[in-house]
Amino acid sequence: MFEDTRPADLDATGNADTWAAFRVAAAGERLRVLRELRDGSQPVSLSGGDGVTVTTTLWVIDAALQRLSFNVAADAPTLARLVDRDEAVAVAYLDSVKLQFELHGLVLVRGSSGAALQCAMPAEIYRFQRRNAFRVRPAERNAPVARLRHPSMPEMTLVLRIVDISIGGCALWLPANVPPVQAGTRLGELLLELDAHTAFTAAVTIQHVSSPSRDAGVPGTPPGMRLGCEWQPLGGMAERALQRWIDQAQRRHRLHALL
């Protein structure tokens, strides 16, 4: 990646493995993300470094040949300079999620209907989402749950309702008849069941504990406490399952907003 478009390092070590949580690793998932960009005609910024930038939209995805085509204006002043560089960093947004990926082998193709910028399919896509950008608040009926053992009473198995969930963490509802849990406690293994098709295990740290009077977002809930939890680094499969579930919730939210 070019230094002027590379996201900030995630830690001080510079270890490449620190990007794993943000990488869309599966080929099918990368194809799905690219199709969302294409179908939504989302603006894509292509940067070649040194201020060479072209804004475009994804036009064609050729999965068989592993090629992409972008709509471009053939007379764009920076287009020739970008093509000469033969590679670019693409940045686009899907709702509150930033996508970033490298493109190689840039070729300008001119035709009777316009011009297209073609290149190889990206081998990697990185997805960055602000932790508080989009939180899903499930309806109480058929709400997702977390299964775990009480940290101070391992013989007690708990099934706690998930009050809300995001890419950064989740909030669990602890009923009043369950022994309390303190902020700062690490819960080493939770089984999160979001729906009939989405479940994964994760570890969390409880960042804060609040009473109903401080959390007006849980109307009609029996007495209890809200546990605000932060994910301890999710595994790749868990992160992808959560991201897909949140993406689906965002799409449903947009559809309801249009009704």
Beta bridge partners of 225: 174
Residue 255 pLDDT > 80, yes or no? no
Among 38-42, 91-95, 115-119, where is mean pLDDT lowest? 91-95
74 Cβ neighbours under 8 A, 6+ residues apart? 108, 110, 114, 115
Which tens digit of pLDDT belongs to each residue from 171-215? 899 998 999 998 889 998 999 999 888 999 999 999 888 775 444
Report, in angstroms and rounded to the nearest whole number, the Rg of the chain calculated over CA atoms.
22
Residue 126 · residue 23 · CB < 8 Å: yes
Q: To 5 degrees, how large is the angle CA 117–CA 119–CA 122?
A: 130
Q: What is the model's pTM?
A: 0.49
pLDDT at 235: 82
The full set of domains in the chain, from first to last, is 16-129 (2.30.110.10), 145-258 (2.40.10.220)
* Chain mean position to CA 148: 25
How sure is the predictor about 158, in pLDDT bands with cuts at 50, 70 and 90? very high
Among 77-81, 103-107, 128-132, where is mean pLDDT lowest? 128-132
pLDDT at 214: 40
The share of the chain scoring above pLDDT 70, in percent, equals 78
pLDDT at 12: 46
Mean pLDDT throughout 4-14?
A: 43
The first and second tokens of residue 259, run together, are: 């009704």
Q: Which residues of 66-102 are buried (b: 16+ CB within 10 A; e: fewer)?
A: eebbbebeeeeeebeebbeeebbbbbbebbebbbbbb
Residue 222 pLDDT > 70, yes or no? no
Residue 245 pLDDT > 80, yes or no? yes
pLDDT at 149: 94
Euclidean distance between CA atoms 85 and 65, whole angstroms: 22
The first and second tokens of residue 187, run together, are: 């819960």
Which tens digit of pLDDT belongs to each residue from 121-152? 999 998 876 544 445 666 556 679 999 999 99
* Chain mean position to CA 120: 24
Which tens digit of pLDDT belongs to each residue from 24-59? 878 888 998 899 889 888 888 888 877 778 888 999
